C-alpha cells in the first residue's frame, strides 16, 4: 500500500470516528458500581476515592433514608465554569450512594452530558475520566440519550423553558450584596429551603448554591422526597439529580426553571400517566416560589 493510500485511510478513519463521537448518545447519569454493603461504609469509601482523585467535597445531603449525595468540584470544573456563561451550574458534579433492594448503587452525574445541557465551553471529558478512574463506570443511564448537539438546545417540549430562560428570583445592587444576602437567608429561612453547598467561581462575580427542599401539606410539591418518589421509579436510581441550584451572577439571583432542571435529568419521563410529569405538575411553580421567597 502506498504512503498516499495510508494517509487517506487515516484521514477517513479519523473523520468516521469524529462523526461517531458527534452522534454518540449521552445520558444524564453514570452507574459506577452496584453490590452488597451499607450506605455508610460505601459513602466513606466513595469520599476517600474522590479525594484521592483530586475532587474536593463541598457538601453532602441525605434527601431521604438510604440515600446520600456528595457534591464535589475541582480546578478543572471551576475553570470551565469561569469560561462559560452562567457556568456556575456546571461547577460541581453530584455523586450518589443509594440502597435499592439488596444492592448499594454508586452513581454520578455524567460530566459530558451536563457540560452540554449547560452549554459549557469544555465538554468535561477529562473530569469524566477522573470520576471513572476514582469510582468506576458500568453504564450510562437515565434516558434513551441525546447527542451533544441535541443536549445544547434541549427543552422538554414546545412552550417550555430552555437553559437560557431561567427564573430571576431576586436582584441586588451588587454581586457582593447578593451573595451575602443569599447565604444569610438560606441559613435563616423558614421556608424549608436550606444550604447544602456554596462554590464561588474564580475570576467571576458568580457563585452557585446547592439547596435542599423540604415541605409538607400544601407545600409538598417542592419537597425533594415527594418529587423523587414520583419520578425516580426505575431500578437504577437517579438520586444524583439532587440537590437543586441557585445561581448568583453579578447582582442577580437565578434558578433554572423546574420544567428544564427536572427534565434534563428525566427527559424520557412521560407527560401523563403513572410516574409522569402530570403527577408533579405543581412542582415547577412551587419550587420557584419557595426559592424566591427564600432569597428575595
Q: pTM for this structure?
A: 0.91
Joined grid coordinates for residue 99: 440502597
State in words which class domain 3-295 has: alpha beta
Joined grid coordinates for residue 260: 428544564
Query: CA separation (Å) from 67 to 12, 97, 171, 175, 270?
Result: 47, 6, 35, 34, 25
Contact in structure between 234 and 206 (CB atoms under 8 Å): no
Any idea where the domains of the chain sit in the sequence? 3-295
DSSP conformational letter for 26: B
Joined grid coordinates for residue 57: 467535597
Contact in structure between 194 and 238 (CB atoms under 8 Å): no
In the predicted structure, residue 152 carries a pLDDT above the cut 80:
yes
Write out pLDDT tens, residues 15-24.
443 444 457 9
In the predicted structure, residue 14 carries a pLDDT above the cut 70:
no
Alpha-helix runs per DSSP H in the chain? 3-23, 39-52, 75-83, 111-117, 125-135, 148-152, 175-188, 224-231, 258-261, 283-295
Contact in structure between 196 and 223 (CB atoms under 8 Å): no
Write out pLDDT tens, residues 104-134.
999 999 999 999 999 999 999 999 999 999 9
Burial class (CB in 10 A: 0-12, 13-18, 19+), 101: exposed
Amino acid at each position: 500500500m502506498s504512503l498516499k493510500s495510508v494517509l487517506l485511510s487515516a484521514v477517513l478513519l479519523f473523520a468516521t470516528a469524529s462523526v461517531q463521537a458527534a452522534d454518540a448518545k449521552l445520558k444524564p447519569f453514570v452507574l459506577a458500581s452496584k453490590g452488597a454493603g451499607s450506605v455508610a461504609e460505601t459513602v466513606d469509601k466513595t469520599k476517600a476515592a474522590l479525594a484521592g482523585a483530586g475532587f474536593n467535597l463541598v457538601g453532602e445531603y441525605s434527601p431521604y433514608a438510604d440515600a446520600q449525595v456528595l457534591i464535589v468540584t475541582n480546578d478543572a470544573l471551576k475553570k470551565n465554569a469561569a469560561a462559560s456563561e452562567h457556568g456556575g451550574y456546571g461547577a460541581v458534579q453530584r455523586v450518589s450512594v443509594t440502597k435499592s433492594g439488596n444492592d448499594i448503587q454508586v452513581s454520578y452525574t455524567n460530566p459530558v452530558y451536563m457540560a452540554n445541557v449547560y452549554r459549557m465551553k469544555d465538554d468535561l471529558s477529562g473530569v469524566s475520566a477522573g470520576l471513572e478512574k476514582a469510582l468506576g463506570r458500568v453504564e450510562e443511564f437515565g434516558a434513551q440519550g441525546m447527542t451533544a448537539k441535541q443536549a445544547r438546545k434541549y427543552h422538554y417540549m414546545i412552550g417550555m423553558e430552555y437553559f437560557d430562560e431561567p427564573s430571576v428570583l431576586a436582584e441586588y445592587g451588587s454581586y457582593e450584596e447578593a451573595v451575602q444576602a443569599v447565604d444569610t437567608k438560606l441559613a435563616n429561612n423558614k421556608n424549608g429551603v436550606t444550604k447544602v453547598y456554596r462554590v464561588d467561581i474564580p475570576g467571576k462575580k458568580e457563585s452557585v448554591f446547592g439547596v435542599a427542599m423540604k415541605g409538607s401539606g400544601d407545600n409538598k410539591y417542592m419537597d425533594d422526597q415527594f418529587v423523587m418518589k414520583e419520578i425516580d421509579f426505575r431500578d437504577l436510581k437517579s438520586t444524583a439529580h439532587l440537590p437543586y441550584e441557585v445561581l448568583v451572577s453579578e447582582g442577580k439571583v437565578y434558578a433554572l426553571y423546574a420544567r428544564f432542571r427536572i427534565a434534563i435529568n428525566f427527559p424520557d419521563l412521560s407527560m401523563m400517566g403513572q410516574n409522569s410529569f402530570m403527577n408533579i405538575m405543581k412542582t415547577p411553580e412551587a419550587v420557584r416560589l419557595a426559592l424566591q421567597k427564600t432569597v428575595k
